[in-house]
């Protein structure tokens, strides 16, 4: 007997974690997709839509399934013989079959992204104005594209129809995005899709204290914001620099920066 878990996408402002990690692409063409697991290591499977997961009773206590933002997190606690999972789309009823098996090992496995026929890859260099798949919000798709473009191997960067890189109007340091912290902000790249812009901004801690990153503390009028890491380490540490992906709508980041109020001057006319 199988138990069904309803798993759906969550739209959040902060998508912490390794957005730029290499991703293994698998195309669903009605053939079961092999997704091996390593015992006690979590593996992510990007679905990007609400699905029901059919778990055979033989996996009870052996496999943990969780979801955040349209992503499945699979973690085996012991060896699992080849077993088939059924993923059913809540919206369309389409079935995707995964063949999982868990073995011991110490090599980390790449996340998996499942592509379907609707997600057609655009030929390199071919202009396109086609919209992205409806089930993927544009801010999420733009953030993922920006992170992959900056850090992922070229072969793993997924095409995003209609996206184009836009020149930065400002390459020097920005006014403080985190005015309460000693953190510098420097734009490094920007892309646009439709009415949305994403600007990648390098954040560097200049102080001796660890700085937790919270999008609600950003001093700008943003549609959404994501960080490559959840915090900045003290200056001089390996963790003192990260990247923020800032989404604006209707204009680029330069129109969204909130300038600090001018300093109050005393009344020079007093005698």
pLDDT tens-place values along the chain, 271 residues long: 444 444 333 333 444 344 444 678 888 888 899 999 999 999 988 887 777 888 888 999 999 988 665 678 899 999 999 999 988 877 777 888 999 999 998 877 888 888 875 444 433 333 334 344 446 788 888 998 898 888 776 667 777 888 898 988 777 788 889 988 999 999 999 999 989 999 999 999 999 999 999 888 898 899 999 998 889 999 999 899 999 999 999 988 988 886 655 545 554 444 4
CA-based nearest residue to 37, from 88, 111, 97: 111
Residue 141 in domain: no
260: in domain: no
In a domain, 112, yes or no: yes
Distance CA 6, CA 87 (A): 10
Q: Which pLDDT value is given to residue 13? A: 40
Domain of residue 212: give its range: 164-255
The pTM for the full model equals 0.51
Domain boundary among 56, 84, 118: 118
- Which among 118, 150, 176 is the end of a domain? 118
User: Is 235 within a domain?
Assistant: yes
* CATH code of the domain containing 36: 2.60.40
pLDDT number for residue 35: 92
In whole angstroms, give the CA distance from residue 23 to residue 110: 6
Q: Give the burial class of 203: count Cβ atoms within 10 A of its Cβ; 0-12 exposed, 13-18 middle, 19 or more buried.
A: buried
* Overall domain count for the chain: 2
State the Cα–Cα distance between residues 26 and 13, nearest whole angstrom: 27
155, part of any domain: no
User: What is the model's pLDDT at position 77?
Assistant: 94
Examine the fold and report which residue of 118, 143, 176 is the final residue of a domain before the chain moves on.
Answer: 118
226: in domain: yes
- Do 9 and 114 share a domain, yes or no? yes
């Amino acid at each position: 007997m199988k138990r069904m878990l309803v798993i759906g996408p969550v739209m959040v402002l902060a998508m912490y974690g390794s957005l730029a990690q290499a991703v293994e692409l698998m195309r669903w063409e009605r053939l079961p997709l092999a997704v091996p697991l390593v015992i006690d290591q979590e593996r992510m499977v990007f679905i990007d839509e609400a699905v029901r997961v059919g778990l055979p009773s033989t996996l009870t206590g052996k496999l943990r399934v969780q979801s955040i933002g349209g992503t499945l997190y699979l973690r085996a606690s012991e060896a699992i013989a080849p077993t088939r999972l059924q993923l059913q789309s809540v919206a369309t009823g389409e079935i995707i079959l995964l063949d999982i098996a868990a073995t011991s090992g110490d090599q980390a496995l790449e996340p998996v992204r499942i592509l379907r026929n609707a997600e057609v890859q655009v030929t390199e260099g071919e202009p396109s104005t086609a919209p992205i798949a409806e089930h993927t919000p544009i801010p999420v798709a733009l953030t993922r594209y920006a992170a992959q473009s900056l850090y992922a191997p070229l072969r793993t960067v997924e095409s995003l129809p209609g996206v184009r890189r836009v020149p930065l109007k400002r390459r020097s340091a920005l006014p403080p995005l985190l005015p309460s912290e000693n953190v510098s902000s420097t734009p490094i790249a920007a892309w646009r899709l439709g009415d949305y812009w994403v600007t990648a901004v390098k954040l560097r801690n200049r102080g001796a204290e660890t700085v937790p990153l919270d999008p609600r503390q950003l001093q700008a009028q943003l549609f959404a914001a994501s960080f490559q890491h959840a915090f900045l380490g003290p200056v001089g540490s390996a963790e003192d620099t990260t990247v923020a992906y800032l989404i604006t709508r209707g204009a680029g980041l330069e129109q969204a920066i909130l300038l600090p109020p001018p300093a109050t001057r005393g009344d020079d006319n007093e005698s």
